[in-house]
Amino acid sequence: KVFGERETDGVDVLITVPHDSSSRRKPLQAHKSSESGGNSDEHGAQMFGLRVEHAANESLWKDSKGSPDTHKLCSQLDQADRCWTFISHSWHDDWRKKTRNLRLHLLLQQFRTASLALGLLLALELLPMGFLIQALTGMHSVWFGPSVFGIGIAFASILWAELSGKVFPAKYGPWRWVESTVWLDKCCIDQASDETKQAGIARLEQYLERCDSVTVMLGKTYFERLWCTYELACFCKKRKDLNTSLRFVSLEWGWWTNIQYAMQGFDMKQLEEWEEELLSNYSCRNAKCFMPKDRATVLGKIRDEWGTEEKFDKFVQTRLKELLMQGKRRFVMRPFSKISETLTLLFY
């Protein structure tokens, strides 16, 4: 398929998990609705997904229009049913930061923890062998050799996971065993014509309703995009279980965020200045869309759902600000929770 010149703002990535792992979905090679005729109401009725092993490739995220490599990946679609998480992001944010944080959130953080834990266990198991070799050979300082081998396997596994999707395709890394699929606008919306694209965009709210959670890739342009804010606000307004169904992954957060949180006594009371500015002065009238007609469509939806644009702005400035604070606290605690989950799996 040839990708059009427009891009879609807003919530545009969807990760799905199959109900029954024993019945794998059959891959679809391309959208066929536009080729076989059919009206616009039929376009987008079926949700398609892109497997995580393809979504983890950096080449897929370099731009919103795609490249020969991304076109090849986007032709390998699966039909999706129920969804695990809907990833919301802006195409105007740095794709490198976005890819790094997405890969970390989906698999790498847990894979690193599990690899290090297993490596340490293997090192402990091999430690008696090292003492035995030293006793039999009479050589000194060789008792730690087998243990070093165990730890080396752990670091080699981590390196293999990190390079997959960057140096070589992610399907040759641990991603290939992840059954989830990703809904991505430039792949899963039929790009054959403006009609099919608009039909797919119109169904974004339906895709959102079929998700168990939303993951927000928060960058500095996120709340500047009208689609992003609208879809996130809709999800937060309709869902009651936001403590478990909403995840914020900021492109500006990292290990230093965890240190800052610890220095505050694990009691984060306020957001950083740039985060405050994103929300305190928010106005949907000042938010942007790639196409003017999309802007008019979203503002109309806001008036239908909230009554007035001012009420929507107030919801973003207050409720979303509270949720961002809660999400940041959960983010900095996530490494500790992953360690706890890994140790639970290993010892219980």
Tens digit of each residue's pLDDT (9 = 90 or more) over 307-342: 999 999 999 999 998 898 888 888 877 777 777 777
Q: What is the pLDDT of residue 39?
A: 47
* Model pLDDT for residues 244-276, shown as the tens digit of each residue: 889 888 888 776 666 666 666 555 667 778 888
Q: Are 94 and 79 in contact (CB under 8 A)?
A: no
Confidence band of 162 (pLDDT split at 50, 70, 90): very high
Query: 33 vs 320, which has greater pLDDT?
Result: 320
Closest CA to 149 of 129, 172, 174: 129
Task: Report strand pairing: 181-184 vs 27-28.
Answer: unpaired
Q: What is the pLDDT of residue 268?
A: 60
* Model pLDDT for residues 174-230, shown as the tens digit of each residue: 988 888 777 777 776 666 677 777 777 778 888 788 777 888 888 889 999 998 999
- For the whole model, what pTM was predicted? 0.75
Query: 236 vs 339, which has greater pLDDT?
Result: 236
Strand order across the 77-79 sheet: 27-28, 77-79, 48-51, 181-184, 11-16, 83-88, 214-218, 246-250
Least confident among 14-18, 63-67, 189-193, 224-228: 14-18
Answer whether residue 93 shows pLDDT above 80: yes
Which tokens go with 320? 């979303």
Q: What is the pLDDT of residue 30?
A: 45
Q: What is the pLDDT of residue 12?
A: 44
- For the chain, give the mean pLDDT: 76
| Average pLDDT estimate for 17-25 | 40
What's the rounded Cα separation, in Å, for the pair 6 and 201?
12
Q: What is the pLDDT of residue 35?
A: 43
What's the rounded Cα separation, in Å, for the pair 336 and 181?
26
* Model pLDDT for residues 128-160, shown as the tens digit of each residue: 777 777 777 777 766 677 888 888 999 999 999
What's the rounded Cα separation, in Å, for the pair 72 and 60?
10
Answer whether residue 11 shows pLDDT above 60: no
Domain ranges of the chain: 47-94+178-347, 108-171
| Average pLDDT estimate for 5-13 | 42
Answer whether residue 233 shows pLDDT above 80: yes
